[in-house]
């Protein structure tokens, strides 16, 4: 949450500055940047919850992923 607030505030600050200079598309790319960082965090947290269990019995291997 802390990192996302820094990313959002930095993008808004720089986007506003560059918008006043006439480079208004920077705001759109800043929004895209915020979305991509949020998506990366979401995927990372989901991958962190995955567990893999390997069980080896007499000549058999069982792999389960939850």
Q: How far apart are CA 10 and CA 34, in angstroms?
A: 10
Q: What is the model's pLDDT at position 58?
A: 86
What is the per-residue burial (b if ≥16 Cβ within 10 Å, else e) of 11-29?
A: beeebeebeeeeeeebbee
pLDDT at residue 66, rounded to an integer = 81
Q: Rounded to two decimals, what is the model's pTM?
A: 0.68
pLDDT of residue 14: 93
Of residues 31 and 65, more confidently modeled: 31
Q: What is the pLDDT of residues 5-52, one digit of tens each?
A: 999 999 999 999 999 999 989 989 999 999 999 999 999 988 888 888
Q: Report the pLDDT value the prediction gives residue 39, as an integer from 0 to 100.
A: 95
What span, in angstroms and rounded, lies between the C-alpha atoms of 33 and 7?
A: 9
């Amino acid at each position: 949450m802390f990192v996302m607030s820094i990313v959002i505030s930095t993008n808004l600050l720089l986007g506003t500055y560059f918008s006043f200079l006439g480079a208004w598309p920077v705001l759109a790319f800043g929004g895209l940047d915020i979305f991509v960082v949020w998506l990366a965090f979401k995927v990372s947290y989901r991958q962190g919850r995955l567990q893999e269990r390997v069980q080896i019995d007499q000549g058999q291997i069982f792999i389960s992923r939850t």
